[in-house]
Amino acid sequence: MSDEYDPRIVGLLCNWCTYAGADLAGTTRTRYPQNIRPVRIPCSGRVSPHFILTALFQGADGVFVGGCHPADCHYNTGNYYARRRFAVLRSFLDFVGVEPQRLSLEWVSAAEGDRFAELVTGFTDGVRKLGSPNPYARRELEE
């Protein structure tokens, strides 16, 4: 491992849009950072704030949540619930001192492979610019 800080990013991707968009980015051979580790979930509405906290505790430096565009959710309203939960969690994490750049909720449709690559690139760069690992990772706390 090099000395340079290489962020670890967890991607919670909705099965119908963002996961398919990530798949498209792969099949069209679009280049994007390999830091993101995707986890498939049925819908962004399935994302409990607990998942994001688990990712941060386990050592993720950033968490990227992807869902369908508004009014385009496969389950009609899941992404709206995701958006509300995310807004609450973001203000909470801001309060406890996690940089807001470590969290991202984005809408990526199944046809937007390039957009997925762009967003992941931008998000990864933003997390990398913070310059240090997430202070709440469990292995940091145990020391």
Partner 1 sequence: MDCMEVCFFAAVEEEEYMGRKVAAVLPGVCQGCGACVAQCADGAMEMNSFTDDQIHAEITALFAGEVTR
Where do contacts with partner 1 occur on this chain (CB under 8 A)?
1, 8, 10, 37, 39, 41-43, 45-48, 50-51, 54-55, 58-60, 74-78, 81, 85, 133, 139
Give dist(CA 107, CA 131) in Å, integer: 26
Give the residue from 77, 50, 74, 57 showing the smallest Cα distance to 65.
Answer: 50
Tokens at 60, concatenated:
């993720």
Q: Indicate the residue among 53 and 118 with the shorter CB distance to partner 1.
A: 53
Give dist(CA 137, CA 125) in Å, integer: 20
Q: How many residues does the chain have?
A: 143
Q: Write the burial class of residue 111 (CB in 10 Å: 0-12 exposed, 13-18 middle, 19+ buried).
A: exposed
Q: What is the smallest separation between the CB atom of 37 and partner 1, expressed in angstroms?
A: 5
Q: Indicate the residue among 28 and 48 with the shorter CB distance to partner 1.
A: 48
Q: What is the smallest separation between the CB atom of 70 and partner 1, expressed in angstroms?
A: 14
Q: Indicate the residue among 99 and 137 with the shorter CB distance to partner 1.
A: 137
Q: What is the smallest separation between the CB atom of 50 and partner 1, expressed in angstroms?
A: 7
Q: Indicate the residue among 51 and 114 with the shorter CB distance to partner 1.
A: 51
Q: What is the smallest separation between the CB atom of 77 and partner 1, expressed in angstroms?
A: 5
Give dist(CA 29, CA 27) in Å, integer: 5
